[in-house]
A = this chain, B = another copy of it.
């Protein structure tokens, strides 16, 4: 393997494979270099420390969630439906990771737990994507909130149970989807939508 082809991307791919094989506690930069057939110095030229490399791997993993969500956030069309699609996609991406490869999911949870700054930025990204949808919804007259940024955080926090990895063991409970529908109704009402789509209310929305 020739060293000149060594890109950050290739190192990250190898690091992911090494992490999967050895787990975050045991994986070292030397293991990554060995997997690539390069010296550990070559790896350090791209990532100055083991922590930098681990953070970059964590970031890449989280980007696989935040990037497809960014596309939904940037769509046009009615904001309530878009918010619902955004939440459904977040939940589906997280469940898919937990279900398809539980071991890798556990590995990443451990890795991400140590990458606090990376997580902070990720969570801020998600909350601001929600805020973007909410701001559109206010402009469309669909939402009556006054502060889309604050409300974005509130929606993110109120749905914690359904997307935060520490709740993964609850995601396959039989009642989880009904539980989400309940929170979704509450959130929608909290944003000022008095009539849930496709569900007629018995009483008029005004008090």
A residues in contact (CB < 8 Å) with B: 141, 144, 146, 150-151, 153-155, 157-161, 164, 166-167, 179, 182-183, 185-192, 194, 201-203, 205-207
Contact = CB atoms under 8 A, between A and B. Distances in A.
Given A144-B203, A186-B187, A161 B166 contact: no
User: DSSP class of A's interface residues: helix, strand, loop or mixed?
Assistant: helix
A188 B189 CA distance: 9
B166 A154 contact: no
How many monomers of this chain does the complex have?
A: 2
A186 B182 contact: no
Given A153-B179, A161-B157, A207 B194 contact: yes
A185 B144 CA distance: 12
A182 B130 CA distance: 14
